[in-house]
Amino acid sequence: MDNRMENPARTPPARKDLPLYTPPMDVTETNETLFLEFDLPGVRNEDLEITVEKDALTVRGRRHLESPTGLRLALRELGSFDYRRSIRLPADVDRDAISANLASGVLRLALPRRAEARSRRIPVDARAAVA
């Protein structure tokens, strides 16, 4: 926050920069719901942020791993970093009904489709389909 005071031109507010990492994602769908699942190992609830802005859904998570004291690092394959991934929301998703669950380092989002969208039938006019 202090940085923002010193450098008002800088947006968004400065936080300590960590490398950015795009988490792997699974997407599945039933007739009623779209499911998104992300691997976010090391991210706690309080370090997770899910935002919907216009038609973009963005998942942001930070993991900060503490090192044990008094021991030498011998091998490092994990890191501390910021996870970020955005997807474009399908138009028929009910934005107010999106739910999220974080457990064991996996985030699961359920994006229900609007009821009227589910049963919508697209009428096909066979005569107009001629190119």
Partner 1 sequence: MSLLSAFELRGDWSPWRDLARVQREMDQIFQRAGRPAAEVDPPIDVWVGEDEAAVRAELPGVAPDAIDISIEDDVLTLRGSRKVDAPAGDARWHLRERGSGDFRRKIRLPFRVDSRAVAARFSDGILEVKLPRAEADKPRRIAVQAR
Chain contacts with partner 1 (rule: CB under 8 A): 24-30, 33, 35, 37, 39-44, 65, 67-68, 70-78, 104-106, 108, 110
Cβ distance to partner 1 smaller for residue 31 or 119: 31
CB of residue 130 to partner 1, shortest distance in Å: 32
Cβ distance to partner 1 smaller for residue 81 or 114: 81
CB of residue 65 to partner 1, shortest distance in Å: 7
Cβ distance to partner 1 smaller for residue 26 or 49: 26
Distances (CA, A) of 105 to 2, 18, 28, 88, 128: 32, 19, 19, 23, 51
Q: Convert 24-54 to b/e letters by CB count within 10 Å (16 or more is b).
A: eeeeeeeeebbebbbebebbeeebbeeeeee
Residue type, 131: A
CB of residue 2 to partner 1, shortest distance in Å: 29
